[in-house]
Amino acid sequence: MIQLVESPTVLESEERRQPLGLATQLVTRLNTDQVRYCHWKSNQSLLEALAGVGDLILTCTENLSRNRRLGLALGEGIALKIAVQEIGQVVEGFNTAREVVELAHHYKVDMPISEQVYRVLHDGLPPARAVHNLLARSLKPEAL
C-alpha cells in the first residue's frame, strides 16, 4: 500500500505544461485510490498511519523519495532504465505498481492513478498520455 504514493510523481512534471492545479487534482484522486484500497483491505488505519499519509506527503514534496525522483525523470522524458540507473537504489514503487494493479483488477477495485502509473512504468505509456487519460475520465463522485 505504501508505494501507491509514487503515483503522482510519475505524472507531476507534466503540470508545467498543464493548467494550474493539476498536482492538486492528481493528489486528490490518489487519495481516493488509497481510500478504495484501504476499504478493500478493511484497514482504514493504513491511511491514518505515518506510512500512509507520511509517504504520500514525502513522495509529493521531497526529492529524497526514490519514487518521486523516478517519476520526475520519466516526466522529463528520461528513459526508465537510465532513470533507475541514475537513482542507483531500489525504487520500490516500480514493482509495487504491478502488484497493486493486479490486486485491484482481481478484486475489482477502481484505482485509476495506479493503473496509469503501471502503464507508464510497465507498458511504456508516455506520462503526458497518462495525465490525459486521468483528466479525460468522466466526472463522477470520487468517494467510495
Domain segments of the chain as ranges = 2-135
Helices and strands in the chain: count of H runs, count of E runs: 9, 0
Class of the domain covering 2-135: mainly alpha
pLDDT(77) > 70: yes
* Sign, CA torsion 62/64/70/74: positive
Task: Tell me what pLDDT residue 4 has.
Answer: 38
pTM for this entry: 0.70
Estimate to the nearest angstrom the gap between the alpha carbon of 141 and the chain centroid.
Answer: 20
Output Rg (C-alpha) for the chain, integer angstroms: 14
Task: Tell me what pLDDT residue 110 has.
Answer: 84
pLDDT(52) > 80: no
Distance, in Å, from the CA atom of 54 to the CA atom of 66, rounded to the nearest integer, reads 15
Task: Tell me what pLDDT residue 90 has.
Answer: 93
pLDDT(121) > 90: yes
Which of 10, 53, 16 is CA-nearest to residue 31?
53
Distance, in Å, from the CA atom of 66 to the CA atom of 46, rounded to the nearest integer, reads 21
In single-letter form, the type of residue at position 63 comes to: N
